[in-house]
Amino acid sequence: MTGARSAHSDHRRPAGTRLLSDRAFDAIRDKIVSLELPPGAPIEEEQLASELGVGRTPVREAIKRLAYGRLVVVYPRSGSYVADLHLADLQAICDIRERLEGLAAERAAAEATYEERQELQALVDELDATTDPEELLALDVDVHRAIHRMSHNPYLLDMLSQSLDLSVRMWNLALERLPDLNHHVHGQSEVLQAILDRDGERARLLAETHVREFEDGIRQMF
């Protein structure tokens, strides 16, 4: 699962290996989510290890985690490949995300620290100043990840990290054709403001609506 590490395997691996694996995981995940590595592309372990400046072991560890997160498919004796994208998956993913994003926003309204609330206010300011589509989409992801983290629930964080990664691939695929992207992403300001106001119920409802409306917009593109 994205962002999660096996507690048992972590205790057996040296700390340095875990850090390199984390770095490889983040980098390869970003390549997949951004479509730099497109659906169906082979995962070239040696090439990735060279690009990232790590050995093949951290890359293999990262690939195992990515496969668990459904971003990579591993075929015995054939190799690893970027998972295909299927529109049918979108509804299933969003069914989960709609409810969990609402829960995360509700929890963040109650649990976010003073310093985290300052971080959220900075995101509100950045949203107000951003209009470029690619920057907006990246900022939308940053907002989601911040809210997930500020729920202070590691299990919720793991589940949302995985489902968000799967969704972002869909978003990037439809980026140039997404209707009302500017309006949609700027709607995150309302979610953040509800969290800052400690209004958990409003934060939950706004977060659920945000996910649902974006799913509807992407569905229209396919």
pLDDT tens digits, 59-103? 999 999 999 999 999 998 889 999 998 877 878 888 889 999 999
Rounded CA separation 175/109 (Å) = 30
Rounded CA separation 124/195 (Å) = 11
Record the pTM.
0.80
The boundaries of every CATH 1.20.120.530 domain in the chain are 87-219
User: Among the residues of 80-199, which ranges form H helices?
Assistant: 87-111, 114-129, 133-150, 154-173, 181-186, 188-196
Comparing 21-25, 28-32, 49-53, 87-91, the range with the smallest average pLDDT is 87-91
User: Domain 87-219 belongs to what architecture?
Assistant: Up-down Bundle (1.20)
pLDDT band at 15 (very low <50, low <70, confident <90, very high): very low
pLDDT digits (tens, 9 = 90+) for 41-63: 999 999 999 999 999 999 999 99
The amino acid that residue 125 corresponds to is: D
Rounded CA separation 3/205 (Å) = 26
- Say how many CA atoms lie within 13 Å of 132 toward its Cβ: 5
Burial of 129 (0-12, 13-18, 19+ CB in 10 A): exposed
So what's the pLDDT on residue 68?
Answer: 92
Residue 158: CB partners within 8 Å, gap ≥ 6?
Answer: 1, 2, 3, 4
Q: What is the CATH number of domain 7-82?
A: 1.10.10.10
Residue 13: is its pLDDT beyond 90?
no
- Say how many CA atoms lie within 13 Å of 169 toward its Cβ: 29
Rounded CA separation 147/116 (Å) = 9
The boundaries of every CATH 1.10.10.10 domain in the chain are 7-82
Measuring CA to CA, which residue among 158, 140, 151, 143 is closest to residue 106? Answer: 151
Measuring CA to CA, which residue among 103, 74, 97, 73 is closest to residue 85? Answer: 73
174 with 221: CB under 8 angstroms?
yes
DSSP state of 175: G
